[in-house]
C-alpha cells in the first residue's frame, strides 16, 4: 500500500496516478477527509486525556487533605465518557482509513506510458520472426485433439468447463517444460527453488494486493478462510512477511512451480476454448526481494531471465511495456512477454514481469536493516518464467508439421527422454 504520510503530503501525485489509471479520484478525497477528521480527533483526545490527568491529580490532593472531591470526580467521569466516545469514533475511522488505503493502487513509474487501456502499451523489442507456413496452421485445440494429448471433454466431465486434462505425450511435454524452466532458473539464473503450499490465508492474499480488490476472481474455501493460490507470487512473497532482512543478504531470488487457480470472474466470453484462459494452470514464478536503489536494474534482469526461456525454445516473441491503464493494481511498472501463436493468429501473453517497489512490502511489513542500522522497506518484484500452458500452446502451434505431427524443440528433448516428435497415438481409447 502507499504510505499515508506520502499521500497526505503528495495528494496531486496520487490524484494524477488515479487519473492515469482511469480511476476516479473519489477514493482519495474520502481518504483525505477521514485522515483530517482522525488527526483532529487525536488532538481532541490528547487534550481530554491531559485534562483527565490534571483532574486526577486534583482529586488525589483533595482526598489527601480530606476535602470534598465529588465535583471533580463527576468532572473526571464526564471527561472519561467523552474519551470513550472519541476512542470509539477513532476505531471506526481507523478501519475506514485502512480499507481505503488497501484500495488505492500503486503509483506508476515515470517511464510507464500513460493511457487508459492496452492500446497504449508499447512494444520495446522483438525477438525472432513469426513463423510462416505453406499450409494453414492448426490451433492447439485441433492439434491436441488430433494427437490425443489434450482432453477438454473429459476435464469438463471431471470438474466443469475451462479446465484441461493432459495425457500421454501432452502430459510428458507439460512436465518437461516445468523441469526445463526450473533447471534454467535455478542452475543458470541463481534462483532458489521453493515448493510452497497451494493454499494461503487472507493475510497473505492481502499482502500481495489480490485482496480486497480481486476477491471475486479467487477460489475460497467454504469452511476455512483460505484461498487457492492464483499465482506462486502470493506464498513466495509472503515468505518474509513481518521480517527484517539484512542488507548484505539482498537481493534474494526465488523460483517456484505451482498450479494456479483463478475463477476469471468477469472474463466470460473471452478465450473460452482451449488453454488460453482456464481456471487451473501451471506456472513457474520468479520472485525477487531487493534494495530500493537496485530494483529497476533487477527488474530488467528478471525480464531477461524470462525471455531466455522463449529464446531457448526458439519461440518468436515481443516484449511489451504496459500502459498505466493496463497495469496491475499493485504494479509500478510491468513488461509482458507475448509469444507468437500462428494457429490463433496472434501474440499470446506468456509472462508478466512487475516491479511493485515497496507497495507489497508495506502491506506485508517486509523490511531490511542497512549496514548502518537504518530500517527500510524492501522492493518486491516477480514475473512468470513462464506460464506453462500458454507456452505449450506456442510450441504446438509453431512446431507443427503439415501432417499434424509436432516437432519437439531441441531444448526439451532431454526432458522428453529423446522423443523428437509427437505423433498420433495408436492406442485404443
Distance in angstroms (rounded) separating the CA atoms of residues 393 and 385: 15
Closest CA relative to residue 235, chosen from 364, 102, 147, 44: 364
Contacts of 178 (CB under 8 A, 6+ apart): 257, 282, 284, 388
Q: What share of the chain is helix, strand, coil (3-state, %, to 5)?
A: 45, 20, 35
Give me the catalytic one of 15, 75, 349, 369. 349
Helix-then-strand count for the chain, H and E: 12, 15
367: β partners: 244, 377
Distance in angstroms (rounded) separating the CA atoms of residues 257 and 416: 19
Give me the catalytic one of 298, 338, 390, 397. 390
What cell does 346 get? 496472434
Give me the catalytic one of 277, 318, 369, 413. 277
Greatest distance between any 2 Cα atoms in the chain: 108
- Number of CB atoms found within 10 A of residue 43's CB: 10
Give me the catalytic one of 21, 52, 138, 262. 262
Angle at 288 between CA 283 and CA 293, to 5 degrees: 150
Give me the catalytic one of 352, 354, 363, 397. 352
376: β partners: 368
Is 354 an annotated catalytic residue? no
Is 161 an annotated catalytic residue? no
Is 277 an annotated catalytic residue? yes
Which residues participate in catalysis according to the annotation? Answer: 262, 277, 349, 352, 390
Amino acid at each position: 500500500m502507499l504510505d499515508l504520510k506520502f499521500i497526505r503530503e503528495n495528494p496531486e501525485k496520487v490524484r494524477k496516478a488515479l487519473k492515469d489509471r482511469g480511476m476516479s479520484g473519489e477514493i482519495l478525497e474520502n481518504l483525505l477527509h477521514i485522515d483530517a477528521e482522525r488527526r483532529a480527533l487525536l488532538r481532541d483526545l490528547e487534550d481530554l486525556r491531559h485534562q483527565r490527568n490534571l483532574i486526577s491529580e486534583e482529586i488525589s490532593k483533595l482526598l489527601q487533605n480530606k476535602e470534598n472531591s465529588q465535583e471533580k470526580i463527576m468532572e473526571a467521569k464526564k471527561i472519561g465518557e467523552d474519551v470513550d466516545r472519541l476512542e470509539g469514533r477513532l476505531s471506526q475511522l481507523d478501519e475506514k482509513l485502512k480499507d481505503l488505503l488497501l484500495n488505492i493502487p500503486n503509483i506508476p513509474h515515470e517511464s510507464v506510458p500513460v493511457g487508459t487501456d492496452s492500446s497504449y502499451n508499447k512494444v520495446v523489442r522483438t525477438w525472432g520472426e513469426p513463423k510462416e507456413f505453406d499450409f494453414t496452421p492448426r490451433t492447439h485445440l485441433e492439434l491436441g485433439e488430433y494427437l490425443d494429448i489434450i482432453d477438454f471433454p473429459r476435464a469438463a466431465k471431471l470438474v466443469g468447463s475451462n479446465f484441461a486434462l493432459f495425457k500421454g505425450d501432452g502430459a510428458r511435454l507439460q512436465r518437461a517444460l516445468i523441469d526445463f524452466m526450473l533447471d534454467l532458473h535455478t542452475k543458470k539464473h541463481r534462483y532458489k527453488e521453493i515448493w510452497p503450499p497451494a493454499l494461503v490465508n487472507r493475510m497473505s492474499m492481502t499482502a500481495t494486493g489480490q485482496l480486497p480488490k480481486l476477491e471475486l476472481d479467487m477460489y475460497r474455501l467454504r469452511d476455512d478462510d483460505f484461498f487457492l493460490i492464483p499465482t506462486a507470487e502470493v506464498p513466495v512473497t509472503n515468505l518474509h512477511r513481518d521480517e527484517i532482512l539484512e542488507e548484505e543478504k539482498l537481493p534474494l531470488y526465488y523460483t517456484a512451480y505451482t498450479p494456479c487457480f483463478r475463477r476469471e470472474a468477469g472474463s466470460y466470453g473471452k478465450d473460452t476454448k482451449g488453454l488460453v484462459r482456464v481456471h487451473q494452470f501451471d506456472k513457474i514464478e520468479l520472485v525477487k526481494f531487493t534494495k530500493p536503489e537496485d530494483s529497476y536494474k533487477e527488474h530488467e534482469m528478471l525480464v531477461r531471465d524470462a525471455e531466455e526461456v522463449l529464446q531457448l525454445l526458439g519461440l518468436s516473441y515481443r516484449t511489451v511495456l504496459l500502459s498505466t491503464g493496463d497495469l496491475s493494481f499493485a504494479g509500478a511498472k510491468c513488461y509482458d512477454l507475448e509469444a507468437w501463436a500462428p494457429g490463433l493468429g496472434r501474440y499470446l501473453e506468456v509472462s508478466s514481469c512487475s516491479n511493485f517497489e515497496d507497495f507489497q512490502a508495506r502491506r506485508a511489513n517486509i523490511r531490511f536493516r542497512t549496514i548502518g542500522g537504518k530500517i527500510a522497506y524492501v522492493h518486491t518484484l516477480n514475473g512468470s518464467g513462464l506460464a506453462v500452458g500458454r507456452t505449450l500452446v506456442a510450441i504446438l502451434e509453431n512446431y507443427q508439421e503439415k501432417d499434424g505431427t509436432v516437432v519437439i524443440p531441441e531444448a526439451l528433448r532431454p526432458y522428453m527422454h529423446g522423443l523428437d516428435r509427437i505423433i498420433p497415438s495408436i492406442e485404443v481409447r
